[in-house]
Structure 1
Amino acid sequence: MVQVVFVHGVANRKSDAGFDANVAIRDRRFKELAFSSADFTIRNPYWGEFGADPQWKLASVPNFDADYQALGIGAALAQGGGSQILEAARIDFAAVVGALSVAAISNPNEAPAQDIELFWMRVARYAAAQPKPAWLGTVTDDAQFCDRLRKEAEAGAAIQALGFLDQVKAAADKIKGSASNLVNGPFARAGREKITPGLAIFIGDVFRYLRENDARTQIRKTVSEAIVAAGKQRKPNEPFVLVGHSMGGVILYDLLASSETVEGFSAAIGTKFAVDLFLTVGSQVALFEEMKLYEASTSEFSGQSRSVPRPEAVKNWWNAFDKMDVLSFITSPIFEGAEDFSVDTIAGVLDAHGAYFSSTMFYTRLNARLKNIGLAP
């Protein structure tokens, strides 16, 4: 029989719509696709009840009107065409000037030339003094807008003929090309509405776990009991697998890296505790070690000396990440004996963190690797 313990990540609550159904679907996929075994037991210790509990029900998260109107320049910029910048400027001239200046002088690799910076400072002063210039009603497209803006900024200054028109046009093209990513854009607003609540709970759950308090103790106890139960039921030579998604991987590593905890597992199970596979998925295990946040973290292992050894009780450690998942990190530069595997779910940034277990290719490729090490028939 295959013994699997799956530890969920942050922002998982039983009160969420479809929670139990999603767990059942994921269990079935692990059983039928990944391990392809009828003789299979999976435990899902639930620790969400000890996580963050926002007392104002996330009232601090900004809300936007459903139609995204009259909240700024984003809608005009997202419409396309040859007058995106102009239309946005007619809505909020200062906001457009601010966006243009960011596009023009925000190069993390090099500082802007002083004359370029001075030019954009003059543009900003002009916009502050003329928040609704009358000429916005006389120009007809973005090219005319850029030219007129340049002339207004240069008026009365000894900075003419230095190629600033090209600077303005380049900045305009840059913000038009990334209009959907603007904070004021409708797609970005929709994205924030979707991702911010989950991110807020993520931050809360992480802090709840890292603090030495009752919540941390209860989370570790809940997960440890599931591991011990699986270990007791496991027969000799049967596969024993621990899977941690996101924060679940952090919790599992924290337990596995503690020699005292592992000794406790061995005593409770009645035999030496060992894990055939530790699978972390979309997890922050390595990031937390870089920041030295674990009980077992020590300056003995660092980028200046050497990598951290894989937990002694772990025979194989695989770490799955998606390049589009901003909450996933690779492990091999930090830990000895950890293998990283890229998962391409084709999900966008907003959905990639939870998309692993909806991808049949994830389970299929996992199954092939499990067969290679004798953990699947």
Structure 2
Amino acid sequence: MPFVFVHGVNTRAGDAYDKGVNARHKFLSQVTFPKLAFSQTKQLAFFDPYWGGEGATPRWQNRSMPRYGDKFAAMGAAENAIADTVNSKIDFTANDKAIILKIARKNGITAALDVLMLQLVREGATEADLKEFTPAGSAVGRFAKENEFPNWLTEVDDDDTFIYRLSREVEKSNAHPGAAAMGFGNVWERLKETAARIGNSVDDRTSQAILTLAREKLQEQATLFLGDAFVYFKNRWIDKDKARRKPAAPVDPVAIRNGLVSDVIPSIVLQALIDGNNAKTKDDPYLIVMAHSMGGNIMYDLCTDFLSYVNPRFDIDLLITVGSQFSMFQEIDMFSGVKLPQQIGKDSRISKPTIIRKWINCFDKNDIFGYNASAIFDDVEDFEYDTGFGVTGAHGGYFERFSFYDRLGIRIADLLPAAAGAK
């Protein structure tokens, strides 16, 4: 099945980018798409158009931003998993034996599980590892829907007893009947080992580092977001010869590859959409596109303007925008291909582009770059998801959360009922 992912701002090629793509593919392959029956025996085809190299390039390497130190740079993977996750200060101690328990008490069982799964991925978990962990993780997710902060959290003292008690409570709740008998015992033991590695790697400076550097991280995110957004809208419809013009319709894929459609960024994404559409088959008939942050703005721009120049026309069966700003940019009329209502009032809406059959818009209220869509658009479903991250980590945190992929698979199965499998 073709799946196109359009990344957002502050994405540049390198080791971190490669690891992020690899982790996302693992989560989608082993957590999300097994819930769709048509994907069980089919090969997932991932298309990841990379446009970050065409984004903003600060002349002085962001030297205008105040700096507060290099504490985050000195942290290891486990410390960053913690630093990215907590919403506010949690007092960690060196070699903390209750670090996951503290997160569960503060942010809930789902957040605690997500930290453990994130750590596993950052340590290099394989797709086989995730396949082994997914049933237990989904069972915890179902349990947490009704028991996010169970009273027994005050009755356990460390991570070992927390994970043991959680395993027993999940089994008793029938969130996944026969959990232990199905081989989950090994999973729980591995989660205990992961919790121990996290605790052993964290020292007394972690809590303070989170607070000290929050402003620096947030300011850097805002700077890079503005830079990439300005570059995109400034260069819109500028061709390779720097002439500001629109192409004659229709435009074929060859023209896109030769850079005749527009500036480079839309051309890169357009080509991935065409390739994804061409990968559809009778057995795998859906083209699904996920777009994060600025990627959502690019997709909306393409669907309201650029794609009308592409021949042959095609539909996007499901668009999933995550932490995006297209509704905000629409409010200030940044998309020239959109026909606005004659009168705009509190009850007026814009119709979604006809080439998008289904549209989910995901956002976290802690994500300052994530906006709702249903107040501006008809037929767009808002899906509020709590990443458990604070304001500095929420914007990029969706794709590091087991629970995000787990719930997303269930939602996709509901929207594409012919594809629904075991939930």
TM-score, length-scaled by structure 1? 0.63
1:339 corresponds to 2:362: no
Measured after TM superposition, the shift of residue 12 of structure 1 is 0.2
Q: CA deviation at 1:371?
A: 1.4
1:25, 1:186 → 2: CA distance?
A: 26
- Give the drift of 1:264: 3.6
Does residue 193 (structure 1) correspond to residue 216 (structure 2)? The answer is yes
Aligned partner of 1:244 in structure 2 is: 291
Q: Which residue of structure 2 aligns with residue 225 of structure 1?
A: 271
Q: Tell me how far apart the structure 2 counterparts of residues 209 and 301 of structure 1 sit (CA, whole Å).
A: 28
Q: 1:49 aligns with which of 20, 40, 53?
A: 53
User: SS of the counterpart of 2:288?
Assistant: strand
1-side partners of 2:43 and 2:209: how far apart? 49
2:307 corresponds in structure 1 to: 262
From 30, 33, 36, the counterpart of 1:35: 33
Give the corresponding residue for 2:319.
Answer: 278
For this pair of structures, how many residues does the alignment match? 253
- What secondary structure does 1:277 align onto? strand
Change (3 A) 1:66 1:42: closer
TM superposition shift of 1:55 = 1.3
Distance 1:65 1:320, change over 3 A: closer
Whole-Å separation in 1 of the counterparts to 2:70 and 2:314: 54
Aligned-pair identity in percent equals 32
Q: Partner residue of 2:392?
A: 350
Amino acid at match of 2:382: D
CA distance in structure 1 between the partners assigned to 2:43 and 2:420 by the alignment: 11
Question: What are structure 2's unaligned runs of at least 5 residues?
Answer: 72-88, 90-207, 241-261
- 2: CA distance between counterparts of 1:251 and 1:315? 17
| Aligned-partner Cα distance in 2 for 1:302–1:291 | 15
Q: How does 1:289-300 map to 2 (within 5 A)?
A: 289-300=330-341
CA contact (8 A) 1:321 1:329 kept: yes
Give the aligned residue type for 1:217. Answer: D
Counterpart of 1:248, as a letter, is G
Deviations for 1:51-92, whole angstroms, at most 9, x for unmatched residues? 00011111110123579xxxxxxxxxx9xxxxxxxxxxxxxx
Query: What one-letter code is carried by the residue in structure 1 that aligns with 2:334?
Result: L
Deviation digits for residues 117-143 of structure 1, max 9, x if unmatched?
xxxxxxxxxxxxxxxxxxxxxxxxxxx
User: Which stretches in structure 1 are left out of the alignment for 5+ residues?
Assistant: 68-77, 79-184
* Cα distance in 2 for residues equivalent to 1:342 and 1:8: 20
Residue pair 2:340, 2:350 contacting (<8 A) in 1 also: no
Quick one: which amino acid aligns to residue 61 of structure 2? Answer: K
How much has 1:252 moved relative to structure 2?
A: 0.5
Structure 2 distance, partners of 1:199, 1:376, is 39
Task: Check the 8 A contact 2:365/2:384 in 1, yes or no.
Answer: yes
TM-score by length of 2: 0.56
Change (3 A) 1:49 1:66: closer
1:83 alignment partner in structure 2:
none
Task: Specify the code of the residue in structure 2 equivalent to 1:41.
Answer: A
Q: Which has the larger radius of gyration?
A: 1
Note the C-alpha offset of 1:188: 5.5
What's 2:5 paired with?
Answer: 6
